[in-house]
Structure 1
């Protein structure tokens, strides 16, 4: 296609996708090839809606063909239906792990969605397949740069220029990133001079520690925060900085202990109690998490984030009646205009989810319907409806609402897995396999998706396929155990 031959990879934004894959040279079933040809012709004419419809037919006829999935995802990308495109590219890669164009386009879509870590991981996978591709190296550099990982970005740009000295975009990005690094170093040196002028002033160390955090130089940031504490052991500033460093490092144990010390120093700080609740939750310490969130809400009853977190902590601790009370209170806050927009929708979704957990399916249906009346096409509304219908054994209605949830949020692997399980219950096994495989493609680390797929194969009397899937489960569990060690 002439209009999409040159791909702009400078920053991942508005990147023109890799062209549709033509397959005239491949032996294809006649009808499937006819749909592919029709899709390519429509895409050539810029009619991506018609191309999408044609490629959907091609996929229906050849669901295990990664290239057919790729073409459909590309049409969806051109229509800016990015969620569907991500799901399609991931499934295409799952079916054909060597399909490098799918990695490149997927990385670009992730960049469009602001999912920069996912974009980086995807471009790195593409680089493993094509280490001599300078454009992929450039994309890796852009993904690093947007996350302020400047040294890594510089290395990627240099590699792009090694592979292709004429890559102007890589040269420009390298020059810009180098200037950003130099600016950071200038600010660092200036702050060091300010500290030298008054080394007893803890506040000057705080600015230095913040600069180190921006540069991802965590050891220096920790050392500087500890220097603040040595100068003012009873002051908050040093502990606040220490907490900020541990948070950015995602060190849940040290972050939790630091916030525990902060609330001991200042027991009326609602924000600090909320942070403590978050890190206790991440530690898996549900009881202390609940207590911390409850304390935050007691101190500041209108602190909406803490109230949501308290409700979710009650839910995780299976204290469902208490979770109901908090979610209902949040909904009442919405009715009195203390809660707005997405927060109101989240409160209804949380309430419906809790009703489902209690087996109060009729109440869940009513609540989910109220959510959808307020927020049309809300994926959580459809998902909670589907869950409730599933619980009542109304499987066709459950399937319909799971599909609606996926249309509204195609990136949620849980939706695919639960739909696969419901299709299994309805004995719609071939559909269940397809959706279960999509769940795994969306989240390859999702153990329950493999288990669902294995159960489907077992009920279909395909023990070898079930055993192969369970071997994947055991391999993933072994990897998790190894990581914990």
Structure 2
């Protein structure tokens, strides 16, 4: 009888040991799907194996199965809540644009582990999405204090300052980015914000610098064209947008920009062609027609008055 009792105690220990072995084997595999298969086996042996749940959640995240990953992290949080599980579940929710849910998870993560700096960065990004700009500034500042050369945090804090219309501090942060890392992206980001406050000449200079540092920075060509167009340099803007559409022929914003520039240079045939090209690209996946096809474009969102006027002229060509 004693022997039977001993065996009953021993069996779960063997199962737990086997589950651990399967988890270790899974972590050696580079393929997330293969990892999941082994972790499934581990969880069949021990449904509450938290490491198996955690790493399966990570594998599902890597396969873009965000809902599945959320379920695994939620199970861990139910059994034994920890900062890493809240953080990773928050990442899944952020990608799924459940920003309120992500906010809760990131706040729980930093509450449980105030040294989890990555969670503060993502918390700041979530607050940007929720228009909590002053709070976002505080979160990015915490990251910068921990990592004074983190360009991404300076950039994101600058975006928050831009939304708060605190341009002095925003451009101080952009200057820090360029000082730390004077690459194409740093100049591009500052150029976009300069464009936002109608500093077209200064924006143009930054876009040239961005392109000189990376000829494959396709968006920089588009925004260079925008700055040139708004400065009345129509021929130059056409050349910039020609590069944009050469790199991405489905760039409807560049096609519409060329349509306007051609109109101003009185090349009405090319203006009509570019306008129709932009409209045809947008119409493929749109259930609306007319001007509403353009409602999500750069021009409609950022230059609506000019867009409305030019749309009327171009559609009558």
TM-score grouping bracket, smaller chain normalisation: 0.7 to 0.9
> Contact 2:244 / 2:254 at 8 angstroms: preserved in 1?
no
> Are 2:50 and 1:233 aligned?
no
* Counterpart for residue 199 of structure 2: 394
Match of 1:460 in 2: 262
1:361/1:389 contact within 8 Å kept: no
2:292 is aligned to: none
Greater RCO (CA < 8 Å, at least 6 residues apart):
1
- Structure-1-length-normalised TM-score: 0.50
Alignment of 1:214 onto 2:30: yes
CA 1:322–1:210: 2 relative to 1, 3 Å: same
Could you report, residue by residue, the CA deviation over 1:101-159 in whole angstroms, capped at 9, with x for unpaired residues? xxxxxxxxxxxxxxxxxxxxxxxxxxxxxxxxxxxxxxxxxxxxxxxxxxxxxxxxxxx
Q: Distance in 1 between matches of 2:163 and 2:220?
A: 16
Structure 2 CA distance for partners of 1:410 and 1:357, relative to 1, 3 Å: farther
- Structure 2 alignment gaps of length 5 or more: 1-13, 264-270, 288-317
- Specify whether residues 205 and 369 from structure 1 end up closer, same or farther in structure 2 by C-alpha distance, changes over 3 A only: closer
Distance 1:442 1:270 in 2: 43
Matches within 5 A, 1:12-411: 201-210=18-27, 213-215=29-31, 218=33, 221-267=35-81, 269-331=82-144, 333=145, 338-341=146-149, 343=150, 345-373=151-179, 375=180, 377-411=182-216
Counterparts of 1:277 and 1:444 in 2: how far apart (Å)?
Answer: 36
Q: Is the 8 A contact 2:235 2:261 kept in 1?
A: no
201, 209, 218: which is aligned to 1:413?
A: 218
Residue 370 to residue 226, structure 1, CA distance change in 2 (3 Å): closer
Whether the 8 Å CA contact 1:353–1:384 is kept in 2: the answer is no
Q: Distance in 2 between matches of 1:455 and 1:214?
A: 45
Go from structure 1 to structure 2 and tell me whether the alpha carbon gap of 1:437 and 1:300 turns closer, same or farther (over 3 Å shift). Answer: farther
**Residue segments in structure 1 that go unaligned for 5+ positions in a row:** 1-197, 479-485
Residue 391 and residue 222 in structure 1: after superposition, are their counterparts in 2 closer, same or farther (change >3 A)? closer
Contact 1:451 1:470 in 2 (8 A): no
Q: 2-side partners of 1:209 and 1:215: how far apart?
A: 9
* Shift >6 Å, 4+ stretches: none
Q: Work out whether residues 328 and 351 of structure 1, in 8 Å CA contact, stay in contact via their aligned partners in 2.
A: yes
What is residue 18 of structure 1 aligned with on the other side? Answer: none
- The change in CA–CA distance for 1:379 and 1:296 in structure 2 (over 3 A counts) is farther
Could you tell me which of 249, 252, 255 is aligned with 1:450? Answer: 252
CA separation of 1:206/1:476 partners in 2, compared to 1, >3 Å: closer, same or farther?
same
CA distance in 1, matches of 2:174, 2:122: 20
2:232 equivalent in structure 1? 427
Evaluate the alpha carbon distance shift between residue 396 and residue 354 of structure 1 in structure 2; reply closer, same or farther with a 3 A threshold. same
Alpha-carbon distance, 1:255 to partner: 1.6
SS at match of 1:427: coil
CA-atom RMSD in angstroms: 2.7
User: What CA distance in whole angstroms lies between the structure 1 residues aligned with 2:177 and 2:35?
Assistant: 45
- CA change 1:365–1:434 in 2 (3 A) is same
Q: Which residue of structure 1 aligns with residue 284 of structure 2? A: 475
Shift in CA distance, 199/389, structure 1 to aligned 2, threshold 3 Å? closer
SS of 1:250's equivalent?
A: coil
Higher mean displacement: 291-300 or 221-230: 221-230
Residue aligning to 1:113:
none
In 2: Cα distance, 1:354 partner to 1:439 partner: 28
Give the CA deviation at 1:418: 2.5
Post-superposition offset of 1:275? 1.1
